[in-house]
Structure 1
């Protein structure tokens, strides 16, 4: 956007007289300190609850990496038991005897998976891709929230200008009514001229009331996004990172769009899930052992004896009822779905970028036209007012010139907002509406820091040995192409039987009374009572 246009819009706001709404705001906040867009973005980036919630959600995703890699790590536990058993037994002579048993013991067990066919490596890869997709989701949320901040910032400035314009117009129409009344007494005007001026004044009064409400709504949006009420908002700077052309914007979408990369990384997770499901067919080799003390007969400590066990086990599924194959096919279908969603996200991002670009270009043209229209309308109004004072211009011409000036000013102010908001929307679509790009002093949130922290806290001694071996066993993650419909052989629309819907209009629905079911209430909701089975 042209910087001169922005400054002209700011000057227009500053030159217009204060309004009751603005004065009320000033009285509430004492002396409002000047506030830049960078300050608003910095506060929102630091305190916005939606953004903080998205960061917390990403930290939860980081834990999936730890959970997926748990099979690489040694598991151990302690088992302690104290058991008493009493049983009546019939002897050979028919007499009953009571057999009692007392056992106790404590045992330390440990197990370690040695080989599992690449299952763990695939699950870790899926978790890592999910975390990376979550980071793109966080980046998308940051852009969306900062877009809301920018939009609220310029909306407050726009609505302040609109309120001031409407107030100036109301004052001008009020003076016109006063002049019309005075000249009606002198016989120059009629009651019709007075009524015209009064009608226009009241229309502007209604528009001023709505503009004041809109201003407070924009201030509320600002407070919700930033976390505090707006002060004296300064002219926003030119946004950095805008592409030089629409084709350049399309290139940036392909490389940087957070929504597109979120979908791409989701396909990486889908590939890994296919491999993990195929690895379910592979054998699992595990080492387990235990050591402890136990007494099989009494509770006496002197009867405790040492017990030690060790084993290497191999587990391999042979017949699973088709569940593994079904899970693989489901994972393949989900991966195909994710592939289509990548193209959906790509098309949506390109469309949004083009729409924002067009809105920004149109906004710039509207600003230029609004500026020229405002200057011409001001000049015309001055001439018409002089002619009205000299008696050769009518009251209607003055009212019409006033309305034309009002319309031109509204066009200019709304175009100023629309162009700037469209540029911010374009940057958000590209993933470039970032706090550090607008204000370099803003401390940025590093999502990778938490990932490194949780990984360091759960590092196992056998990870460096087992992870490379497991990765070498990961089965294929290839997914076949999704089935496609054959091209249509005839694309002509069938001829219509009814070319125009006949009347009359429908006035009543064919409602039929539903008979109320009668019979005893079923108190027993067991399968027998509900289904009638035996």
Structure 2
């Protein structure tokens, strides 16, 4: 349809297409009346639309200023970011998840701490005995309480490795929280500029609808004067209804964007101020790659996961080391009575040394399993690095492309506005067709829509680039943000633990910790011949399949029926 408009618009002035002007009128009085009325309506339309169109177009080659003070009573992007940072449920859930991961460090270090407890007993036993044809009963009554204590003295480095693995998991969890924070704030920024873009699109469609309404009235007036036909009126009315339908969809899009904003931020948006410039953008694509390799949370999460995998290798190797445990008990018990006056003190203690000799192969299997898992995590690091670079490239290109679209959109709006004004003057003078006016109106509308979407795409692309760099964080974007302290919870919980021997035992266990290095990655040999095999069957042909074999019992090859061999 747009190609048809372009072909007709390039065909000339429109003389002979719709029998407009060009000396075709036979009644000079009717012609002059129609021209005067058309010029009056055209001047009124230009006076109403030109200021709004010109106000939306910056100077040639210049980007619209964004560092402007917000109008009093408007909501800013900074307020939306602060509200989401404090109240977003997904972000709060991830913070709670991190606190749960923090507890793994406390649990892993528990062997360093003293295990102390109280054991109370109250028992009664009665037995029947028979001796020398006589039957009797023996009863036993016991009452007592004991204080028991146990402490691991040597652990072969097990606990040190487990604590190191748990600490690496905590650091990985903090990077996961950073990743979630970056992309939640990206959603905040995107929903904010989406609301502003959709509101601008509605305003553009409303101005265009009003312009087409005047065009319909103008065509109807000239039809009454004999200058236009009903076909011209039908064309204007058809375009008016198309724009009216598009306006209805644009208004629905505004409400969808507002709802998305409310889900992320936690409140319905009001009047939104112009978005400010975003800090921390790279100056080149090489700078972006360098920053992403240093700060990207997803990449650091993969690196720290691999570090935890290495520590688990050491923990499994430590299972072959001896373990020395001290135990003691002190308390009071009675012998064959419940009388508390007969309580007697009871003291016991000992040291236990356990050395694994044969473990049924399970220790070696677990070590090999940990090594394979560490190798897997090493490949994950490289995979994530490639994905991060690809995402950075895409976000960078989106920003660059949107800037070019923005400049082209500004120039297109200026050109379409000038063309529309010229076509309207020609239409009023009788040598431009009604169709050319409608086509010029549509070109102006398209240019304004391109410009509005380019503004959105450029800002959203910059925000996406910052998120993939790991720089779209509350503390980075705002100076006064109350930053959530990721380390405070673990530090507080560690301070609450009691272990009189924890410091020396931890140092001793760290010395005993086995090596954590795994084996080199297995190398897949390079193919000698990379030629694709010649197909043994022809390409797929035939008719469309219309049914699946429901109820058919799957055939399992005999070689697959048995369990895996040990």
Normalising by structure 2, we get a TM-score of: 0.84
Q: Which residue does the alignment assign to 2:335?
A: 296
CA distance in 2, matches of 1:148, 1:512: 46
Q: Which residue does the alignment assign to 2:373?
A: 334
CA distance in 1, matches of 2:107, 2:66: 58
CA distance in 2, matches of 1:253, 1:507: 49
Q: Which residue does the alignment assign to 1:199?
A: 238
Which residues in structure 2 correspond to 1:82-93 (within 5 Å)? 82-93=122-133
1:261 and 2:319 aligned? no
Q: Which residue does the alignment assign to 1:62?
A: 102
1:131 and 2:170 aligned? yes
Q: Which residue does the alignment assign to 1:147?
A: 186
Normalising by structure 1, we get a TM-score of: 0.89
CA distance in 1, matches of 2:549, 2:259: 48
Q: CA RMSD in A?
A: 2.1
> Is the contact between residue 9 and residue 413 of structure 1 (CA under 8 Å) also seen in structure 2?
no
Q: Which residue does the alignment assign to 1:438?
A: 477
Counterpart of 1:110 in 2: which secondary structure?
strand
CA distance in 1, matches of 2:250, 2:468: 30
State the Cα distance separating 1:33 from its structure 2 match: 2.3
1:157 and 2:196 aligned? yes
> Is the contact between residue 98 and residue 173 of structure 2 (CA under 8 Å) also seen in structure 1?
yes
Counterpart of 2:356 in 1: which secondary structure?
coil
CA distance in 2, matches of 1:500, 1:117: 63
State the Cα distance separating 1:220 from its structure 2 match: 0.7
Alignment equivalent of 2:358, drawn from 319, 335, 340: 319
Counterpart of 1:6 in 2: which secondary structure?
coil
Counterpart of 1:285 in 2: which secondary structure?
strand
Alignment equivalent of 2:76, drawn from 32, 36, 41: 36
CA distance in 1, matches of 2:328, 2:148: 6
1:469 and 2:508 aligned? yes
> Is the contact between residue 68 and residue 276 of structure 2 (CA under 8 Å) also seen in structure 1?
no
> Is the contact between residue 7 and residue 235 of structure 1 (CA under 8 Å) also seen in structure 2?
no
Counterpart of 2:94 in 1: which secondary structure?
helix
> Is the contact between residue 67 and residue 277 of structure 2 (CA under 8 Å) also seen in structure 1?
no
Which structure is larger by alpha-carbon Rg, 1 or 2?
A: 2
State the Cα distance separating 1:505 from its structure 2 match: 3.1
Q: Which residue does the alignment assign to 2:7?
A: none
CA distance in 1, matches of 2:394, 2:383: 16
Provide Cα deviations, 1:424-478, integer angstroms capped at 9, x if missing partner. Answer: 0000000001122222111111111112111111142212211111000000111
The 3 A distance-change label for structure 1 pair 378 and 452 is same
Q: Which is worse superposed, 265-274 or 483-492? A: 483-492
Which residues in structure 2 correspond to 1:72-87 (within 5 Å)? 72-87=112-127
> Is the contact between residue 395 and residue 465 of structure 2 (CA under 8 Å) also seen in structure 1?
yes
Q: Which residue does the alignment assign to 1:183?
A: 222
1:280 and 2:358 aligned? no
CA distance in 1, matches of 2:68, 2:235: 33
State the Cα distance separating 1:194 from its structure 2 match: 1.3
The 3 A distance-change label for structure 1 pair 459 and 299 is closer
Provide Cα deviations, 1:11-47, integer angstroms capped at 9, x if missing partner. Answer: 9xx9xxxxxxxxxxxxxxxx99211111111111111
Provide Cα deviations, 1:338-372, integer angstroms capped at 9, x if missing partner. Answer: 11110111011100000000000000000000000
Number of residue pairs the alignment of both structures matches: 494
1:47 and 2:108 aligned? no
Q: Which residue does the alignment assign to 1:168?
A: 207
Counterpart of 1:7 in 2: which secondary structure?
coil
CA distance in 1, matches of 2:321, 2:144: 36
Counterpart of 1:271 in 2: which secondary structure?
helix
Unaligned runs of 5+ residues in structure 1 are 15-30, 515-534
> Is the contact between residue 33 and residue 231 of structure 1 (CA under 8 Å) also seen in structure 2?
no
State the Cα distance separating 1:8 from its structure 2 match: 8.5
Q: Which residue does the alignment assign to 2:161?
A: 122
CA distance in 1, matches of 2:546, 2:101: 55
The 3 A distance-change label for structure 1 pair 240 and 513 is closer
The 3 A distance-change label for structure 1 pair 510 and 79 is closer
Q: Which residue does the alignment assign to 2:10?
A: none
State the Cα distance separating 1:313 from its structure 2 match: 1.1
CA distance in 2, matches of 1:192, 1:372: 33
> Is the contact between residue 66 and residue 274 of structure 2 (CA under 8 Å) also seen in structure 1?
no
Provide Cα deviations, 1:252-281, integer angstroms capped at 9, x if missing partner. Answer: 111111000000011111111110111011
> Is the contact between residue 32 and residue 231 of structure 1 (CA under 8 Å) also seen in structure 2?
no
Counterpart of 2:291 in 1: which secondary structure?
helix
State the Cα distance separating 1:482 from its structure 2 match: 2.8
State the Cα distance separating 1:513 from its structure 2 match: 7.9
CA distance in 1, matches of 2:396, 2:254: 27
> Is the contact between residue 139 and residue 336 of structure 2 (CA under 8 Å) also seen in structure 1?
no
Q: Which residue does the alignment assign to 1:7?
A: 65
The 3 A distance-change label for structure 1 pair 446 and 471 is same
Q: Which is worse superposed, 276-285 or 181-190? A: 181-190
Unaligned runs of 5+ residues in structure 2 are 1-58, 554-566
State the Cα distance separating 1:197 from its structure 2 match: 1.0
Q: Which residue does the alignment assign to 1:448?
A: 487
State the Cα distance separating 1:508 from its structure 2 match: 4.4
Provide Cα deviations, 1:161-187, integer angstroms capped at 9, x if missing partner. Answer: 001111111111111111112212222
State the Cα distance separating 1:314 from its structure 2 match: 0.5
Which residues in structure 2 correspond to 1:448-527 (within 5 Å)? 448-497=487-536, 500-509=539-548
The 3 A distance-change label for structure 1 pair 114 and 507 is closer
Which residues in structure 2 correspond to 1:417-436 (within 5 Å)? 417-436=456-475
Q: Which residue does the alignment assign to 1:103?
A: 142
State the Cα distance separating 1:385 from its structure 2 match: 1.0
State the Cα distance separating 1:206 from its structure 2 match: 1.1
Q: Which residue does the alignment assign to 1:523?
A: none
CA distance in 1, matches of 2:77, 2:161: 45
